[in-house]
């Protein structure tokens, strides 16, 4: 300092703010005789500017808007710059508040931090601030960390086309639905699903959509299939896969060949009036044979109802039938509900004591009257009558007299309009 006395006080305040930098305060003392002491120098370092705010990033949670399964976050940040006093270190912490300011205790000068205690599912924030050697603290930086290590619930599968996985169905375009999987952390992202013939396929990790329904629009061949599905959340967690069995059979069983030991020839009459029927076993290569529906009546084209009567391949009608023509009808059903076409078998019943016995006296050329005996009862017909002469014998059986100008003959007409036999009577006039 110069040799001018500035005062006698022992304190000095520099009332003009100093810019950042290094300064020196110099002082010497003078007595009344004009003597000056040696000079003393005092260094003053001024830094009023805080360090740069650290910028945080994370290799475990690189996108703050996304969820991650990692629950041990790894954080890094840019080194804060301080041109004056220089960087002293950082203070940081993790909590669930978005705007926490770390305390003023330096935890270190490293620019990375791994939180070695696993975090529970939820949203967290990493907060960091920097301090320089002058004690200036930067503003805090906040980094969002979203943790979800829990998988969504496993979807529960249903089907309107195949409601019971243990049963077969004729539907070959399966319709599948499932409940919405719950994920109360990051939320449900979608589903991956697949249909094939393997029971334990795991769908890939590509989301196929967020709908809870699927229709396989390509018709399936007969066989057993499985629908597989798993759910993903927004953190990338996948649920375990669920599997649903689908059994398809659109092919009806084979039709039957019917035969009878009581009425072996459908075109012949038999006295047996409690018919015994049998048929070959229907085959079904998919769901298998469930049983048969059958019926006996007097109509040739009856289709049995859709109620299974049993699985036996034989039937005896234990109630005696009256004379006439009957039909046995049968169809088969498989376990998918497919019915075969119906097969029909003709049964002709005529008791022996009701069949007319015809006899005739051979006329000569001079005889103009013919006598035909039916069951010992004479029926007379002659050339003077109108032809043909039709005479009812019994139970619908008719005797028809026909003239072809050269000879007469009788026909026995049975109830089904068929001809039982013909008795020829030669008469020349």
Encode pLDDT of 13-29 as tens digits: 999 999 999 999 999 99
The pairs formed by 21-25 with CB atoms below 8 angstroms and a separation of 24 or more are 21/45, 21/46, 21/84, 22/46
Give the number of domains in the chain: 4
pTM score, whole prediction: 0.71
Quick check: is 393 in a domain?
yes
Residues 348 and 362 in one domain: no
Bond preceding residue 388 cis, omega within 30 of 0? yes
Token reading at 127: 């907060």
Nearest to 145 by CA among 129, 121, 117, 163: 121
Inform me whether the pLDDT recorded for 221 exceeds 80: yes
The per-residue DSSP string of 321-371 comes to PPSEEEEEEEEEEETTS-BPPPEEEEEEE--GGGS--EEEPPP-TT---EE
CA dihedral 158, 162, 168, 173 (to 10 degrees): -130
Encode pLDDT of 174-203 as tens digits: 999 999 999 999 999 999 999 999 999 999
**In this structure, what are the phi and psi dihedrals at residue 68, rounded to the nearest 5 degrees?**
-135, 150
Residues 223 and 193 in one domain: yes
Cα angle 288, 289, 295 (rounded to 5 degrees) comes to: 160
pLDDT band for position 408 (50/70/90)? low
Inform me whether the pLDDT recorded for 380 exceeds 80: no
Residues 143 and 161 in one domain: no
Residues 291 and 417 in one domain: no
- CB-CB contact of 230 with 155 (8 Å): yes
Encode pLDDT of 196-216 as tens digits: 999 999 999 999 999 999 999
Residues 58 and 202 in one domain: no
Inform me whether the pLDDT recorded for 367 exceeds 50: no
Mean pLDDT computed over 339-346: 98
Mean pLDDT computed over 139-162: 98
Inform me whether the pLDDT recorded for 312 exceeds 90: yes
Residues 317 and 372 in one domain: no
Q: What pLDDT does 407 receive? A: 52
Pick from 149, 173, 208: which residue ends a domain? 149
Between CA 185 and CA 121 the distance in angstroms is 7
Quick check: is 253 in a domain?
no
Pick from 119, 149, 179: which residue ends a domain? 149
Encode pLDDT of 249-305 as tens digits: 999 999 989 999 999 999 999 999 999 999 999 999 999 999 999 999 999 999 999
pLDDT band for position 360 (50/70/90)? very low
Residues 1 and 83 in one domain: yes
Mean pLDDT computed over 60-85: 97
Nearest to 222 by CA among 247, 197, 195, 198: 247
Cα angle 410, 414, 418 (rounded to 5 degrees) comes to: 90
Residues 4 and 143 in one domain: yes
Neighbours of 142 (CB within 10 A): 16
Question: How many residues are there in the chain?
Answer: 429
Token reading at 147: 């943790």
pLDDT band for position 391 (50/70/90)? low
CA dihedral 8, 14, 20, 25 (to 10 degrees): -10
Residues 58 and 144 in one domain: yes
Provide the mean pLDDT of the chain. Answer: 88
Q: What pLDDT does 353 receive? A: 53
Domain containing 38 equals 1-149
pLDDT band for position 386 (50/70/90)? very low
Token reading at 376: 């010992």
Inform me whether the pLDDT recorded for 350 exceeds 80: yes
pLDDT band for position 421 (50/70/90)? very low
The per-residue DSSP string of 155-201 comes to PPEEESSS--TTSEES--S-EEEEPPPP-SSS-EEEEEEEEES-TT-
Residues 20 and 77 in one domain: yes
Residues 202 and 338 in one domain: no
Encode pLDDT of 36-70 as tens digits: 999 999 999 999 999 999 999 999 999 999 999 99
Q: What pLDDT does 374 receive? A: 53
Pick from 218, 248, 278: which residue ends a domain? 248
Mean pLDDT computed over 218-247: 98
Residues 328 and 195 in one domain: no
Between CA 278 and CA 257 the distance in angstroms is 9
CATH of the domain at 88: 2.60.40.10
Mean pLDDT computed over 129-149: 98
Q: What pLDDT does 148 receive? A: 98
């Amino acid at each position: 300092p110069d040799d001018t006395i500035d005062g006698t006080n022992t304190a000095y305040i520099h009332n003009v703010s100093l810019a950042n930098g290094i300064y020196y305060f110099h002082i010497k003392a003078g007595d009344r005789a004009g003597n000056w002491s040696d000079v003393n120098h005092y260094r003053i370092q001024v830094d009023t500017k805080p360090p740069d705010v650290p910028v945080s990033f994370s290799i475990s949670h690189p996108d703050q808007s996304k969820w991650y399964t990692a629950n041990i976050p790894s954080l890094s940040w840019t080194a804060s710059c301080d041109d004056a006093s220089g960087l002293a270190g950082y203070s940081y912490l993790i909590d669930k508040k978005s705007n926490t300011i770390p305390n003023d205790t330096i935890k270190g000068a490293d620019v990375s931090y791994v939180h070695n205690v696993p975090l529970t599912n939820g949203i967290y924030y990493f907060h960091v601030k920097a301090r320089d050697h002058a004690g200036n603290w930067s503003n805090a930086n906040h980094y969002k960390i979203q943790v979800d290590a829990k998988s969504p619930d496993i979807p529960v599968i249903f089907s309107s086309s195949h409601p019971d996985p243990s049963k077969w169905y004729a539907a070959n375009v399966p319709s599948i639905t499932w409940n919405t999987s719950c994920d109360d952390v990051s939320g449900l992202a979608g589903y991956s699903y697949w249909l094939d013939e393997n029971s334990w396929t795991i769908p890939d990790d590509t989301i196929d959509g967020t709908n809870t329904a699927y229709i396989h629009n390509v018709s399936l061949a007969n066989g057993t299939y499985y629908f597989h599905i798993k759910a993903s959340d927004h953190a990338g967690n996948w649920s375990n896969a669920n599997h649903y069995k689908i059994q398809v059979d659109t092919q009806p069983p084979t039709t039957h060949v019917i035969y009878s030991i009581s009425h072996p020839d459908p075109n012949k009459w038999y006295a047996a009036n409690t018919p015994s029927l049998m048929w070959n076993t229907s085959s079904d290569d998919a769901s298998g044979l469930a049983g048969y529906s059958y019926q006996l009546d007097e109509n040739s084209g009856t289709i049995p109802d859709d109620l299974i009567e049993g699985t036996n391949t034989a039937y005896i009608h234990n109630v005696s039938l009256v004379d006439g023509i009957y039909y046995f009808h049968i169809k088969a059903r498989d376990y998918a509900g497919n019915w075969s076409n119906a097969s029909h078998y003709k049964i002709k019943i005529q008791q022996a004591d009701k069949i007319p016995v015809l006899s005739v006296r051979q006329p000569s050329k001079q005889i103009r009257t013919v006598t035909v005996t039916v069951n010992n009862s004479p029926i007379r017909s002659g050339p003077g009558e109108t032809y043909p002469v039709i005479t009812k014998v019994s139970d619908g059986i008719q005797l028809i007299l026909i003239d072809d100008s050269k000879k007469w003959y009788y026909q026995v007409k049975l109830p089904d309009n068929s001809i039982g036999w013909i008795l020829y009577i030669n008469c020349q006039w």
